Chains A and B, each alone.
Chain A
Amino acid sequence: DTGVSQNPRHKITKRGQNVTFRCDPISEHNRLYWYRQTLGQGPEFLTYFQNEAQLEKSRLLSDRFSAERPKGSFSTLEIQRTEQGDSAMYLCASSLSSLSETQYFGPGTRLLVL
């Protein structure tokens, strides 16, 4: 399968714990995006990378959130000291170099913070 993959697919954690999610984009795609989606809502932009450079971060991305794409391939999103309000679906997408290109989405990681 050459699509976008995300791991894990589901994560249950206790409040205060740290969690890390991984996204593997389509191999030739330079851009990688992270979104958060809560029930009944559309996705909200969190951040995006052009190769290994993180070019933009949403105000939604508090200091507890950090994202990396060290070699310009896979990316990780870490949430420190999780809160119940962090419970959501975290979606990753990738696209070719042009900003107006279609984004291809992974299946998402569903996070539940107890």
Chain B
Amino acid sequence: KQEVTQIPAALSVPEGENLVLNCSFTDSAIYNLQWFRQDPGKGLTSLLLIQSSQREQTSGRLNASLDKSSGRSTLYIAASQPGDSATYLCAVLDSNYQLIWGAGTKLIIKP
């Protein structure tokens, strides 16, 4: 059974710092991995999608990497801003074409 874990559960850093969020999954048989952002009481916004054949994707200040063999992904946020404060979730599309989610990392960027 695929399980997705995100560490840390919460993170608070000063504005301007670069930071890394971690996601691990137990079964490497995935079609893709996605990083989402969720603001309090809101739905989810897709940030980056990495296909299983890819190693990384970049969008603006965000860079996501995927190491399928080791079951790990990282989301790198450069020059963090208070507006980046949110919960970040990763999800893998498993062999049954279902999204399996981590519990998220709650990020607070202090001005």
Contact = CB atoms under 8 A, between A and B. Distances in A.
B33 to A, nearest CB: 11
Interface of A is mostly: loop
A91 B98 CA distance: 15
Interface residues of B, number: 23
A102 B45 contact: no
Interface stretch (B11-19, B62-70, B71-79, B99-107): B99-107
Contacts, number: 51
A110 B36 CA distance: 19
B103 A100 contact: no
Nearest to A44: B101
B102 A42 contact: yes
A104 B46 contact: yes
B51 interface: yes
Nearest to B48: A102
B37 to A, nearest CB: 11
Interface string A38-54: 00111111000000000
Interface of B is mostly: strand
Contacts of B51: 100
Contacts of B31: 99-100
Contacts of B41: 108, 110
Interface in A11-49: 40-45
Interface of A: 4, 6, 40-45, 56, 91, 93, 99-100, 102-108, 110
Ranked nearest first, the 3 interchain pairs of A and B with the lowest CB-CB distance are A42-B101, A105-B43, A105-B44
30 contacts: A6-B43, A40-B104, A41-B103, A41-B104, A42-B4, A42-B104, A43-B89, A43-B91, A43-B99, A44-B101, A45-B99, A56-B98, A91-B43, A93-B44, A99-B97, A100-B32, A100-B93, A100-B97, A102-B34, A102-B46, A103-B46, A103-B99, A105-B36, A105-B43, A105-B44, A105-B45, A105-B46, A106-B43, A108-B42, A108-B43
